Structure 1
């Protein structure tokens, strides 16, 4: 995919909420970095840091309390080592690595804190308001970005609390992850975790209706060291370059869009004001450009007053065949999998084109799905199981592992 000519920005892709065993999750930090570099331009590998209002004395959830407390302590002990490792790995793997950690909260919802500085200090407080105050007090506001995570749950059950949501340091809201979609309360992927169902008050549309201004992002929340795992969530940004400072500027300027699977480019502008801008009525029409690496069903524009929807025309098989015959570019998907239920298979694949040239390789690898620290399946498969290389302009080689569908 290529952006419009004479456009000042390039599309970059990242995942800024995901986990490995730096706290309580599976897979090493090294594996997480390698997996991120398969598909992403930037990543923040997130440590579980605290839960100020966790009910530590409820005997029914002591097993949950214990693994959280152990995970928090592990992250605190190894924070400096974590910072050192990601700083060294950045140049080796050619990916921007931003430090990050997560604070759980029943009352305020879970928040992710991402740092610009490779030496980011872990600052912990009991509420988002106190956290912002502390950051401003220490004059560190240029180095921290805070956003609410899995907003769709009920307020009081770790869903977003719009009363304590504030814009300073919080330009973005996460609307999709492995937990589900929170654009609206009805979606293709409802929230189904043990924290309960989603509610309308936890949706993006409800927050916008309250007058809040924010950009949107999506992350995997993968718990087995695979940032960017295909099918969960990925964030797109329009950035001046792939430098750390320009990625940071794009996130704070809200030049973002949220995706759940295949990579897309989304540009929405009114005049010369791009998505994320706050401006008066310019008296100019809006312009929407969408490119995707899979078919587009429809394009939808939501405003507080109404919904505008444009459906993409369906093509007949004959028409698609005729168009393909004359096309100069095409996207070809290669998918591997199936096999006996629960069994692993290793794939070593070489592909070569005849009378054509590879313009771009777009990996779509998935990580192994283990969430709970109490799940013993993490020892059954390698966490880092994929690699790829474009050998020349007509051939590509990749290796990956797959597991038979559990159904």
Structure 2
């Protein structure tokens, strides 16, 4: 069973990156910036991404009479950091294998104009200290750079996007989702509640506010990660349709708006209108045919076509597929494995170490088609050693206390992968995590979920730190609550994570209209396409 590319996308390949990995210099929360730190970030990106636009963060936090404050404007030290970033980006760019872009978070008047990340096509461009966005735009026009608005949905004048200042050529796309949540619109599905300091999301600066003004821009998602690790699963990724993996080809796709965003799962999304792909504009005298195809990573719940800020059509995929039962057939499916949970410091533990999971995923029959990483921190590895076996190393961090931190600070506890397989129902999935084993018949995996809990490790940790045995603890919940766990999700057959449909829009309004697609899986993971603009003429 092969996925056929939708008409219009045949000449492109799909590449994944994180266009918002903030790299800090030295301050109370971060060590000095060094070549080693930068190389560590790049190496982590190479392991699970295709490209990385590094966003140096030219700000520093400091205390004034005990109050934590973030700097505004340039500092001499930033220029020294910038030299290190310039060198690291130039060194790491490997056309055809892994691509880097030089960039930084603009440190001008973010409060007035909104936050923007600046990226350059060429190496060794300057760290621009323009105070106003119009001045920054003018400089970028000369240097061949772009400025990407992000978390636009906050209050305008308090770092939300002021759409009175926007240049389609220099801001070809906008970040709709990140660790802050979704800036899509005020009454849109995903909240924007992760940063309690900058919130809430309100009208004025949202993505739909910008589109409703008639601006043309693409849509991406990216992490806004602040712990050096790029591509944190769940904080947003950027997808790009480009002809090849080079700076020039990716940049051409950036400027043409052939981009889209996902929250974490690498949902493949194809969307066209009358043969025009996402990011394009065209004119029509007649009703248009909208085509959508999605290859998800979990069961697809619904796919919505948005026209001019309103839902034009909803395709409900839930209930349209069944679990295969024919014994002789080969079944294609995706199965997710997720590791984490573990001891919580609030139970009184003085010290909790990271947990390293070394193991393998193996089929008795069939083959592994692909393996998708779901990584959130350093120390992860996937290596397919044969058609039926993949070795993995997951390193999960201790649980973070429930304090008002950004979402990425809680995600470090979880690591995992999605295995796409093709096998007969009689095949058995063998999961090994030393010293534990779990065998799941494929037929059963299509119907139920399982958990492997390392409760004996929890008992040993409690015995070491508290001197307590199981018999001395009145409520045994504490051993389950503090056990590291591996969850084996229900396998989803191809029919559950693949959808294709078309819709005719015969409501021809004599004006320019924008359309985009929003995808939601049953596990809450989402994708947003870039828009297509249609001007209906007489």
Query: Taking structure 2 as the reference length, what is the TM-score of the superposition?
Result: 0.65
Contact kept? 2:95, 2:246, Cα under 8 Å: no
Q: C-alpha separation between the residues in 1 aligned to 2:326 and 2:226?
A: 42
Q: C-alpha separation between the residues in 2 aligned to 1:127 and 1:324?
A: 66
Deviations 1:256-309 (A, max 9, x none): 111001001112112232110121126441211111112211111111274121
How much is the aligned-residue C-alpha RMSD, in angstroms?
2.8
Structure with the higher fraction of residues in strand conformation: 2
Equivalences for 1:36-185 in 2 at 5 Å? 36-49=45-58, 63-65=68-70, 73-91=76-94, 94-104=97-107, 105-136=110-141, 139-140=142-143, 143-185=144-186
Q: C-alpha separation between the residues in 1 aligned to 2:295 and 2:204?
A: 31
Tell me the CA shift for residue 111 of structure 1.
0.7
Tell me the CA shift for residue 365 of structure 1.
0.9
Q: C-alpha separation between the residues in 2 aligned to 1:85 and 1:362?
A: 27
Contact kept? 1:146, 1:170, Cα under 8 Å: yes
The match for 2:442 is: none
Contact kept? 1:3, 1:10, Cα under 8 Å: no
Deviations 1:174-205 (A, max 9, x none): 11000111112244332342123110222211
The match for 2:290 is: 286
The match for 1:345 is: 355
Equivalences for 1:358-397 in 2 at 5 Å? 358-367=368-377, 384-397=378-391
What's the secondary structure of 2:147's corresponding residue? strand
Distance 1:47 1:2, change over 3 A: farther
Unmatched tracts of structure 1, length 5 or more:
368-383
What's the secondary structure of 2:269's corresponding residue? strand
1:296 aligns with 2:297: no
Count matched residues.
379
Contact kept? 2:324, 2:331, Cα under 8 Å: no
Q: C-alpha separation between the residues in 1 aligned to 2:375 and 2:84?
A: 28
Distance 1:346 1:183, change over 3 A: same
Contact kept? 1:270, 1:282, Cα under 8 Å: no
Tell me the CA shift for residue 223 of structure 1.
0.7
The match for 2:5 is: 4
Q: C-alpha separation between the residues in 2 aligned to 1:188 and 1:349?
A: 35
Q: C-alpha separation between the residues in 2 aligned to 1:90 and 1:226?
A: 18
Tell me the CA shift for residue 211 of structure 1.
1.1
User: Which of 225, 230, 237 matches 1:227?
Assistant: 230
Contact kept? 1:106, 1:156, Cα under 8 Å: yes
User: Which of 352, 361, 365 matches 1:355?
Assistant: 365
Tell me the CA shift for residue 22 of structure 1.
4.3
Deviations 1:197-243 (A, max 9, x none): 11022221121111111100100111111111100100111111112
What's the secondary structure of 1:84's corresponding residue? helix
Query: Taking structure 1 as the reference length, what is the TM-score of the superposition?
Result: 0.85
What's the secondary structure of 1:11's corresponding residue? strand
